[in-house]
Structure 1
Amino acid sequence: MKPAAFEMVRPADAPEAGRALAAGDGAVKVMAGGQSLGPMLNLRLARPERLLDITALPGLSDCRETASHVEIGAAVTHARIEDGDCPEPIAGMLRHVAGGIAYRAVRNRGTIGGSLCHADPAADWVTALTALGAGVVATDGTGATREIPMPAFMLGAYRTALRPDEIVTAIRIPRHSPAARWGYHKICRKVGEFADAIGAFVADPETRICRAVFGSTGGAPLLLPDLAAHAARTGSPAGLTTVKTALEHSGLSLSAVKIHQLAVAHRRAVEEALADV
């Protein structure tokens, strides 16, 4: 199939893109790498009248770092992160996650911001960046910016907290100490496919931060602080029965198979993180 006819526009900056989005009243879509939107266009699941190509907007392809944060532009590709072209807020985690996304051809074009905005529950970045305590920087049609914490950014499957005149311009990730540990494990039918279950675990004893995150739940990533606290306190994951019980009482509608997959992914992520402790 081929997409319905549309107009391609290249705004000069983020505020112009935001104004065009708001004026389009749903008939305008943002195009970055196009690895999610492209197939939807070809299948005519999306039929925008206009596409905004934001890949050349100032700053969106930059990686910056400060004493407290790493900031990654929304148009930075997965491949650049995989290849170590961006600073790491915690040793090795971003490269590991980026290297496991789909296939290299997809990683060469797909962007971190586009993945977040698509908000697929089975995507990697929504879970990994939640575990890292990241914030999403959104810019509106006036040029004003705000930072949205990851737990508040994804509202559900394919839904985000972005306003009609906002685009994502960067992701801000707090730096972790050299003592920080992380684990990230996903269960897929085969390499390159979207995950059936994701477990992410980050613990930093110096800042006393510990997060256990479950991804591919059918909606936004799930944070379970009690399981994170157990791992930090004992140096090992909770038993599968305990994890399954926590998932059953999480308020999500999950099948028994999904609960088992998530419990296994969590256990392996914690084991990876604490293996040498």
Structure 2
Amino acid sequence: MKPAPFAYAVAADLDAALAQLAAGETAKPVAGNQSLGPMLNLRLARPGLLVDIARLPALRAVEEGADAVRYGAAITHAEIEDGEVPDATGGWLRAAAAGIAHRAVRNRGTLGGSLAHADPAADWAVVMTGLCATAIVEGPEGARRVAMEDFLTGAYATTLRPGELLAAVEVPRPGPGTQWGYWKFVRQVGEFAKASATVLVDRAHGRLRCTLGALGTAPLVLPQAEALLAGDCTPAEAVAAALPDRTKEGRALHEVALARALSQAGIDSAGGSGA
């Protein structure tokens, strides 16, 4: 199929992009075009104007701080995978990026584009939520910071308001001895996950987080993180409490994903980590 007719503009800078997006209700930003492109061809999306933001310096910048690294939204998956930008986590981001779709997609797809698209099964949605990342949003009223678990609100839904852009993602640096695990189920390389989970144990900064992804909605931060880490709650119990409306069969993959993420983080889901 072919997309419905639309106008196309290359933004000169971030201010120009915001002005162009605010000018019409049907304007949409485009960078890697790995998600929007197929939607255009299927006519699931029919914007009147596409504003190209892929090469904006403000969205391509990476800023290193003592406590976090801020990644411009137009940084590609491949640039993270290849180590062309610093990895705030010491390797976890590179590993996650390497598992996204296929290399051709990673060459073009962007960090911000994936998060703004908010596919429930996408890697960055659950990984950035699990790492306690922060979305930096720019819009007509200025910049605002939104915790990732609040930025992603549902399937293909975010807190972005009309005329706003996801400009950057800030990822905290983990403290000494931090443990991390990320597991996803895919039938074959390149597919979206059927179930996924992350585990973060950063006691130096008081960040303990167990997160489920690929739920058909936004990632879910489990309230039982401390109990899971101590072995007082099993993955099956935590998932059952979090997804009470699903059958045991419907929860099975998420239970195993959480157990394997705990194992990757060096935590015995039966007996706790002792960390």
TM-score of the aligned structures, taking structure 1 as reference length? 0.92
Match of 1:266 among 253, 258, 268: 258
Aligned residue in 1 for 2:84: 85
Residue 22 in structure 1 maps to residue 22 in structure 2 = yes
State the one-letter code of the partner of 1:19.
A
User: Superposition pairs for residues 46-125 of structure 1, below 5 Å?
Assistant: 46-125=45-124
* Deviation at residue 129 of structure 1 after TM alignment: 0.4
Mapped to 2, the partners of 1:199 and 1:65 lie a distance apart of: 27
State the one-letter code of the partner of 1:265.
A
Question: Structure 1 residues 61, 205: CA separation in 2 closer, same or farther (over 3 Å shift)?
Answer: same
* Deviation at residue 230 of structure 1 after TM alignment: 2.3
Aligned residue in 2 for 1:12: 12
For residues 54-75 of structure 1, the C-alpha deviation after alignment (integer angstroms, 9 at most, x for no partner) is 0111221122210011111100
Mapped to 1, the partners of 2:257 and 2:18 lie a distance apart of: 38
Mapped to 1, the partners of 2:158 and 2:234 lie a distance apart of: 33
8 A Cα contact 2:222 2:238, kept in partner = no
Mapped to 2, the partners of 1:241 and 1:37 lie a distance apart of: 36
> RMSD of aligned C-alpha atoms?
1.7
Specify the SS of the correspondent of 2:265. Answer: helix
Specify the SS of the correspondent of 1:191. Answer: coil
Aligned residue in 1 for 2:237: 242
8 A Cα contact 1:180 1:203, kept in partner = yes
8 A Cα contact 1:127 1:213, kept in partner = yes
Mapped to 1, the partners of 2:242 and 2:228 lie a distance apart of: 16
* Deviation at residue 161 of structure 1 after TM alignment: 0.3
* Deviation at residue 275 of structure 1 after TM alignment: 5.9
TM-score of the aligned structures, taking structure 2 as reference length? 0.92
User: Superposition pairs for residues 143-182 of structure 1, below 5 Å?
Assistant: 144-182=142-180
User: Superposition pairs for residues 208-219 of structure 1, below 5 Å?
Assistant: 208-219=206-217
Specify the SS of the correspondent of 1:30. Answer: strand
Mapped to 2, the partners of 1:66 and 1:16 lie a distance apart of: 28
Aligned residue in 2 for 1:138: 137
Aligned residue in 2 for 1:197: 195
* Deviation at residue 18 of structure 1 after TM alignment: 2.0
* Deviation at residue 205 of structure 1 after TM alignment: 2.2
Specify every segment of 5 or more residues in structure 1 that has no aligned partner in the other structure, as ranges. Answer: none
Percent of aligned positions with the same letter in both sequences?
Answer: 45
8 A Cα contact 1:15 1:139, kept in partner = no
User: Superposition pairs for residues 218-229 of structure 1, below 5 Å?
Assistant: 218-226=216-224, 228-229=225-226
8 A Cα contact 2:195 2:213, kept in partner = yes
8 A Cα contact 1:217 1:254, kept in partner = no
Specify every segment of 5 or more residues in structure 2 that has no aligned partner in the other structure, as ranges. Answer: none
* Deviation at residue 158 of structure 1 after TM alignment: 0.7
8 A Cα contact 1:14 1:140, kept in partner = no
Mapped to 2, the partners of 1:75 and 1:172 lie a distance apart of: 13
8 A Cα contact 2:235 2:258, kept in partner = no
Residue 232 in structure 1 maps to residue 217 in structure 2 = no
* Deviation at residue 238 of structure 1 after TM alignment: 4.2
8 A Cα contact 1:19 1:140, kept in partner = no
Mapped to 1, the partners of 2:230 and 2:88 lie a distance apart of: 23
Report the number of matched residues: 269
Question: Structure 1 residues 169, 240: CA separation in 2 closer, same or farther (over 3 Å shift)?
Answer: closer
Mapped to 1, the partners of 2:239 and 2:209 lie a distance apart of: 17
